[in-house]
């Protein structure tokens, strides 16, 4: 016998002995598990590359397993007189228990939409029973569209369009002439294209992969648009002020820019550096929070600075509206409720990131450190779109 075969046989024997040991441990508390482990040990001897040593191992092991298998294997003829064992009752209980995760899994439906923004939420007392993430996200997208007065005469550039759910909403509700979505993540671009095709909108809605800070390249032509939107994504751009300049470049004269975004309050530093917080620790935590959320620190500017950046890019009629009270608390509440509802079919680990985000946004919102804003600005009629900022 070659050295290789001896090594294989040794490994197999070690594995079989370990399986047998585990089976003995499980015998008293879970006979079904013990039987499975012992059967697996015997199966290994029969199916792995045959050698005389393996066959020699298989024969005595099979003899040892035979009485144990006979004891715990179901008989070929059911004995109606035998009362149900504790194991039988437990298996039946597990199968039909209304709290069983198996029952919950069978009733889950695959999602047809993949919305992901903070959403617009009514107060807890006014929240309809059927109001969930989809409804909240649709409400936020609709608010942004109304803010820029999106209509059937517009050509829309939607930057950071995600999986295309908002573009389907824009196309069906506001019916602009055309929509071009730009998304940096290839997986979301593919999902968006499938989503748009499923709704039969591919004739006037397109989604391409591209960067928010290089829109001329992303659009693949010297196109100009009457509306540029960024729904709950501009704070991720590197950097937002570069996106603002790019938006100005691709907008037609009198074109409108609309954003749903985050900024810090004018007093955020004083809040974080209050006696309740260490100034140094607060700065570290703020930086870590931005890093974890993939938000460049340079994007966390005050509302005043935000308006100044828009004006510096050439925009006029800048309007900024604070909607924090309709966002942070409702989003946090939704995460907590959903985590509890899906506890039987998800792992606690799946919700760690969401729960941390919910607590962070609730804290920052309640302490008035950050604001959730809706922004509208207009490109004046006297400047051309592709001549630079």
pLDDT at 381 over 80: yes
Joined tokens for residue 265 = 């309050």
Instruction: Pick the closest to residue 286 from 230, 353, 373, 367 (CA basis).
Output: 367
Please give the pLDDT value at position 364: 80
Please give the pLDDT value at position 219: 76
Banded pLDDT at 40 (limits 50, 70, 90):
low
Tell me how far the alpha carbon of residue 113 is from its chain's centroid.
12
3-state secondary structure of 16: helix
pTM over 0.75: no
Banded pLDDT at 389 (limits 50, 70, 90):
very low
Please give the pLDDT value at position 69: 54
pLDDT at 387 over 50: no
Q: What is the percent of the chain where pLDDT is above 70?
A: 68
Alpha carbon distance 33, 284 (integer Å) = 51
Q: What is the percent of the chain where pLDDT is above 90?
A: 48
pLDDT at 81 over 60: no
Q: What is the mean pLDDT of residues 111-128?
A: 88
Instruction: Give per-residue pLDDT as tens, 198-239.
Output: 999 999 999 999 999 999 888 765 679 999 999 999 999 999
Q: What is the mean pLDDT of residues 181-209?
A: 96
Q: What is the mean pLDDT of residues 180-194?
A: 96
On the question of a cis peptide bond just before residue 14, with omega within 30 degrees of 0, the verdict is no
Please give the pLDDT value at position 51: 45
Banded pLDDT at 36 (limits 50, 70, 90):
low
Please give the pLDDT value at position 383: 54
Instruction: Give per-residue pLDDT as tens, 303-349.
Output: 999 999 999 999 999 999 999 999 999 999 999 998 888 887 888 88
Please state which CATH number belongs to domain 124-378. 3.40.50.150
Provide the β-strand partners of residue 227: 156, 256
Please give the pLDDT value at position 47: 47
Banded pLDDT at 11 (limits 50, 70, 90):
low
Instruction: Give per-residue pLDDT as tens, 130-172.
Output: 899 999 999 999 999 999 999 999 999 999 999 999 999 999 9
Banded pLDDT at 386 (limits 50, 70, 90):
very low
Please count the helices (runs of H) and the strands (runs of E) in the chain.
Answer: 15, 7
Whether the Cβ atoms of residue 272 and residue 286 lie closer than 8 Å to each other = yes
Provide the β-strand partners of residue 229: 158, 258
Please give the pLDDT value at position 385: 47
**Average pLDDT in the chain:** 80
Strand residues in the chain grouped as ranges (E): 155-159, 178-183, 205-209, 225-231, 251-264, 316-322, 370-378
Spell out the domain ranges in the chain. Answer: 3-72, 124-378
Please give the pLDDT value at position 92: 56
> Which ranges of 119-250 would DSSP assign to H, the alpha helix?
133-147, 165-173, 186-198, 215-219, 240-250
């Amino acid at each position: 016998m070659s050295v290789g075969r001896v090594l294989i046989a040794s490994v197999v024997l070690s594995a079989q002995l370990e399986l047998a040991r585990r089976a003995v441990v499980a015998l008293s508390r879970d006979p079904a598990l013990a039987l499975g482990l012992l059967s697996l040990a015997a199966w290994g001897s029969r199916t792995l590359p045959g050698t005389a040593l393996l066959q020699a191992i298989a024969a005595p092991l099979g003899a040892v397993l035979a009485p144990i298998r006979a004891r715990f294997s179901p008989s070929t003829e059911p004995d109606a007189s035998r009362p149900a064992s504790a194991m039988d009752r437990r298996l039946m209980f597990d199968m039909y228990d209304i709290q069983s995760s198996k029952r919950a899994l069978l009733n889950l439906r695959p999602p047809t939409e993949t919305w992901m923004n903070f959403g617009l939420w009514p107060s807890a007392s006014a929240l309809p029973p059927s109001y969930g993430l989809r409804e909240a996200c649709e409400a936020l997208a609709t608010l942004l569209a109304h803010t820029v007065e999106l209509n059937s005469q517009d050509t829309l550039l939607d930057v950071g369009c995600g999986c295309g759910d908002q573009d389907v909403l824009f196309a069906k509700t506001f019916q602009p002439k055309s929509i071009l979505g730009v998304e940096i993540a290839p997986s979301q671009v593919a999902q968006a294209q499938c989503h748009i095709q499923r709704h039969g909108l591919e004739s006037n809605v397109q989604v391409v992969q591209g960067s928010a800070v290089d829109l001329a390249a992303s659009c693949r032509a010297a196109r100009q648009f009457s509306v540029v939107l960024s729904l709950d994504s501009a704070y991720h751009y590197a950097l937002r002020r570069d996106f603002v300049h790019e938006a100005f470049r691709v907008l037609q004269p009198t074109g409108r820019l609309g954003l749903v975004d985050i900024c810090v309050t004018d007093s955020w530093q004083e809040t974080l550096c209050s006696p309740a917080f260490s100034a140094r620790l607060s700065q570290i935590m703020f930086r870590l929070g931005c890093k974890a959320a993939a938000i460049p620190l340079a994007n966390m500017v005050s509302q005043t600075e935000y308006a100044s950046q828009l004006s510096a890019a050439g925009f006029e009629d800048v309007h900024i509206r604070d909607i924090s009270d309709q966002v942070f608390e409702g989003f946090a509440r939704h995460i907590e409720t959903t985590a509890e509802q899906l506890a039987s079919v998800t792992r606690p680990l799946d919700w760690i990131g969401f729960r941390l985000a919910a607590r962070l946004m609730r804290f920052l919102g309640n302490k008035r450190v950050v604001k959730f804003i809706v922004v509208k600005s207009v490109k004046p009629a006297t400047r051309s779109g592709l001549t630079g900022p």
